[in-house]
Amino acid sequence: TSARIVLIDAARNVLGTFAPSLSDAAELHLQKLGVEIHLGHAVEKIDSDGVIVAGERIASKTVIWTAGVTPSPAGKWLGVETDRAGRVRIQPDLRVPNHPEIFVVGDTASLDQDGKPLAGVAQVAMQQGRYAGKLIRRQLAGKKAPKPFRYFDKGTMAVVGKGWAVLQSGKIRLHGLFAWLAWAFIHITFLSQLSLKISVLLQWGWLFLTGQRGSRLIVNYRESAATSATPPTVVANDRAPKPLSAATISSK
């Protein structure tokens, strides 16, 4: 089987937050994979037959819309000032103004650094969490508070297809297999449990070598279980018998 994949972005570049050289490399790689790219135009309409872009209809039964994230409504709970996206505006020590007992971190918080808002990504949340913990410990010990929080950008990565990624950290710019290996190593390193690291490594290795995720989706499980003494079977191999009481979705 085959599929036509069309990428539509209102921005002028693919992965616009990366250096231009990496953005261009990612766009070229996507084209080599057969992805059709439409940049500089926003989707005007989505319906059951596809999308309309710049007055042109692109027929599709499957539309995936990546619209970002919506922050927690903590600002409404607290009745405090928020930014346009609904994130709570905080001070450089990560506290809510006029509420020294409340810390807000991660993508629920709005904090500017060097005139730009910090992104709601894991790196920011982890560093803010460590800072808040340090401040609380020092406060409980009666010690002087640490310097205001400042985010240190360790770099950014993005996977673009099997065995291919882009990576930038400081002046380092990588794309291709080595960037993908670095991405995989860093992600596995940050997993908390050894058993989880081994499990993920084995799953990724299987996926890389075979192209199969080995997963299936069971629908109407309760209905199937209620009408049959034998529960539905989960099939994890394309060559195994298909279950009679469950729908399966192939990973191909």
Beta bridge partners of 46: 51
Is there a single domain that holds both residue 96 and residue 44?
no
Q: What is the mean pLDDT of the chain?
A: 83
Alpha carbons 95 and 80: distance in angstroms, whole number: 12
154-178 pLDDT per residue, tens: 889 999 988 899 999 989 999 999 9
* Model pLDDT for residues 70-101, shown as the tens digit of each residue: 888 899 989 999 998 899 999 999 999 999 99
Domain C-terminal end among 67, 88, 118: 67
Which range of residues forms the domain containing residue 30? 1-67
Task: Assess if residue 96 is contained within a domain.
Answer: yes
Higher pLDDT, 197 or 237: 197
Which of residues 89, 107, 140 is at a domain's end? 140
Round to whole Å and give the CA distance between 228 and 243.
Answer: 12
Residues 87, 27, single domain; the answer is no
Q: What is the pLDDT of residue 69?
A: 76
Q: Please, is 242 exposed, middle or buried when counting C-beta atoms within 10 Å of its C-beta (0-12, 13-18, 19+)?
A: exposed
Kindly state whether residue 224 falls inside one of the protein's structural domains.
yes
Give the angle subtended at the CA of 216 by the CAs of 210 and 163, to the nearest 5°.
Answer: 30
State yes or no: pLDDT of 250 exceeds 50.
no
Q: Where are the beta strands (DSSP E) in 25-160?
A: 36-39, 43-47, 50-53, 56-59, 88-89, 95-96, 99-103, 109-110, 112-113, 116-117, 156-159
Tell me whether residue 233 is in a domain.
yes
Residues 61 and 88 occupy one common structural domain: no
79 and 54 in a common domain: no
Q: Is residue 165 part of a domain?
A: no
pTM: 0.67
Whole-angstrom distance, CA of residue 164 vs CA of residue 183 = 10
Identify whether 174 is part of a domain.
no
Residue 43 maps to which CATH number? 3.50.50.60
Q: Could you give the angle at which helices 177-189 and 194-210 cross, rounded to 10 degrees?
A: 150
User: Of 27, 51, 67, which residue sits at a domain end?
Assistant: 67
Query: How much is the pLDDT for 150?
Result: 96
pLDDT confidence tier of residue 247, bands split at 50, 70 and 90: very low
pLDDT given for residue 214 in this prediction: 57
User: With 60 as the cut, is the pLDDT of residue 223 above it?
Assistant: no
The whole-number pLDDT of residue 228 equals 47
**How far is it, in rounded angstroms, from Cα 43 to Cα 37?**
13
The reply to whether 55 and 81 lie within a common domain is no
pLDDT higher for 102 or 205? 102
Does one domain contain both 81 and 133? yes
- Asked whether residue 1 falls in the same domain as residue 60, the answer is yes
In order of 42, 61, 226, the CA distances from 47 in angstroms are 15, 9, 36
219 in any annotated domain: yes
Number of domains in the chain: 3
Q: Is residue 149 part of a domain?
A: no
